[in-house]
Homo-oligomer: A and B are copies of this chain.
Amino acid sequence: MVSDPESAGWMLDPVLERDTRAIGDLPLCRVLLSRDANYSWLLLVPRRKGAIEIIDLDQSDQAQLMSEIDQASRALKSITGCDKINIAAIGNVVKQLHVHVIARFHADAAWPKPVWNAAPAREYQGATAAGLMAAVRNELALEPLQTIAGSGSAA
């Protein structure tokens, strides 16, 4: 079942798992949707055990990460028509390397501030999150994950 030996031993951080929904896997990163409905907010998590900083990735993975940031940004822009894309690798609280890719609007809950510590998180209502996830899957040509790492095998 393992078609990606470089991902061996990698598991999604439990806080990231709690705060997001899994959309699918790009060649390097798991693509997640934040549960905060204030923003159309993706997270890219390189499936590399122990990676905390971008400098922990080798040159090839860094190049792939940039390519996947580009793809996720274009997908969000295309789906949402946002005014700005915010991209960040912070990781002061959750150490596992993860890159935020966030669609921002002039009228959103935090504009023009960065999203962190700016507005209380808001839950998605109805099928909005599912619709957005389906649109991202379509733009990125992703297969849905069959199961999530930690609870069995991943597609």
Question: Footprint of B on A, CB under 8 Å?
Answer: 52-55, 59, 62-63, 65-67, 69-70, 73-74, 77, 84-93, 104, 111-114, 116-118
Q: Is the CB of A92 within 8 A of B104?
A: yes
What is the copy number of this chain in the assembly? 2
Q: Is the CB of B84 within 8 A of A92?
A: yes
Q: Can you list 9 A-B contacts with CB-CB less than 8 angstroms, sorted by A residue number?
A: A54-B73, A55-B70, A55-B77, A86-B88, A86-B91, A87-B89, A92-B104, A116-B116, A117-B118
| Inter-chain contacts of A113 with B (CB < 8 A) | 92, 116-117
Known A-B contacts A63-B63, A70-B62, A116-B113; the reply to A86 vs B89 at CB < 8 A is: yes
State in angstroms the CA–CA spacing of A54 and B118 once bound together.
Answer: 24
Q: Which residue of B lies closest to A84 (CB)?
A: B92
